[in-house]
Structure 1
Amino acid sequence: MRDLRPSGQIVRGADSAADAPADDVLLAMFAAGDAAAARVLTDRLGPRSYSVALRMLGNRAEAEDMTQEAMMRLWKVAPDWVAGQAKVSTWLYRVTMNLCLDRLRKQTPDRLSDVPEPEDGCASAAQKMQDEARRDALQAALSKLPDRQRQAVILRHIEELPNPEIAGIMELSVEAVESLTARGKRALTAILVGRRDELGYDDD
């Protein structure tokens, strides 16, 4: 994935992610001129934004574009960010989701591409093919969900975020998130149920 730091700058000497300050502190540090803070925050939040964009769009190039745009918007708001008003990650998820929805509304349907996953060097060729078929099937099924259901399912069951954080990202109540997630999961099950044998799933 491309460099998502401001101006693509190369930054050295940043603290490790494990020892780094909180997101809002890093954002304030960047706004104050600490370029190294951008590297740490990008390493921490960039992959999350990209993961969501990839599941929403099913296309690696477009997911990178949306992540790049979301991070650029984060750098732009940094000088005006008010600590405590919201989580930086929540804000970034929301912006990423909205950018993806705008892109989906503009593009023609059925534009699915491969969804990359880390390769397992020990997996057999047959297992790799089956894993790829499962990923493609999930991506195709996700693309058939209504936008809000797709967002909720991705954030809850793929990103594994808690419902209160999802509610903040989607600007809904927790109850609405729970309803969307439940309906989306049922819809995915209905879409995929006829392919269980093909995809190698047991009935138990």
Structure 2
Amino acid sequence: MDETDPDGDLVRRIGRGDEHAAEALVARKLPRLKALAARLLGDAAEAEDIAQEVFLRIWRHAAAWTPGAARFDTWMHRVALNLCTDRLRRRRELPLPENWDEADDRDAPDAALIAGGEQARVTAALASLPDRQRQAIILTYYQELRNAEAAVLMGIGVDALESLLARGRRALRARLMEEGDD
């Protein structure tokens, strides 16, 4: 077993084609990967697609993985984060439908918040944050990564991450207080 990386032994075994090692890694990592993707994308089905793609990449690249540069878990989270970012970019690039400016006669957006309770309020407030702030909060609070690990995943310094966290928390607090006043 690799002393520096708790997943090192499994990854090496996967690199040799060990299906049992792949099953063990999936059992160990799948819930956190799906939770990360679901929080970033807001869609459970897309989160499952992302997790599946991450594990396919692990299977394909495990033989070439070399320990030491970064923990395997950090690399895996980076892959998931990149895939989620790509999905979010593609969503924004979709052309608007012809009737995009017609009146929307569905329930008001706050109706779902009132009906869904506190968790729905927090989820909606989190979704309203800019992408980088949302990523920082999800990685540190929901994925329970240390600031240094989250900063590496996001490709920024710890100071920049802490700034994103501070701005994100302020924005969440303001959004939740606004909704509480309604």
1:144 to 111, 128, 131: 128
Aligned partner letter, 1:60: A
- TM-score, with normalisation over the residues of structure 2? 0.80
C-alpha displacement of 1:108: 5.4
Unaligned runs of 5+ in 1: 1-20, 110-128, 199-204
2:65 to 66, 78, 81: 81
Residue 167 (structure 1) aligned with residue 151 (structure 2): yes
Q: In the alignment, which residue of structure 1 is the partner of 2:96?
A: none
Q: In the alignment, which residue of structure 1 is the partner of 2:102?
A: none
Separation (CA, whole Å) in 2 of partners of 1:139 and 1:101: 18
Separation (CA, whole Å) in 2 of partners of 1:68 and 1:141: 28
Q: 1:37 aligns to what SS in structure 2? A: helix
Residue 31 (structure 1) aligned with residue 15 (structure 2): yes
Sequence identity percentage: 45
User: How well do the aligned residues superpose, as a CA RMSD in angstroms?
Assistant: 2.1
C-alpha displacement of 1:22: 2.2
Q: 2:14 aligns to what SS in structure 1? A: helix
Post-superposition Cα deviations, 1:93-148, rounded to whole Å, max 9, x if no partner, equal 11111111111121259xxxxxxxxxxxxxxxxxxx98942222222212211111
2:89 to 105, 114, 117: 105
Post-superposition Cα deviations, 1:158-186, rounded to whole Å, max 9, x if no partner, equal 22211111112112111111111111111
Separation (CA, whole Å) in 2 of partners of 1:197 and 1:36: 53
Unaligned runs of 5+ in 2: 94-112
Aligned partner letter, 1:162: R
Separation (CA, whole Å) in 2 of partners of 1:158 and 1:168: 17
Q: In the alignment, which residue of structure 1 is the partner of 2:37?
A: 53
Separation (CA, whole Å) in 2 of partners of 1:131 and 1:34: 47
Separation (CA, whole Å) in 2 of partners of 1:56 and 1:197: 27
C-alpha displacement of 1:54: 0.5
In terms of fraction of residues, the more helix-rich structure is: 2
Post-superposition Cα deviations, 1:7-51, rounded to whole Å, max 9, x if no partner, equal xxxxxxxxxxxxxx9212100011112211111111111111111
Residue 179 (structure 1) aligned with residue 179 (structure 2): no
Question: Structure 1 residues 131, 54: CA separation in 2 closer, same or farther (over 3 Å shift)?
Answer: farther
Aligned partner letter, 2:179: R
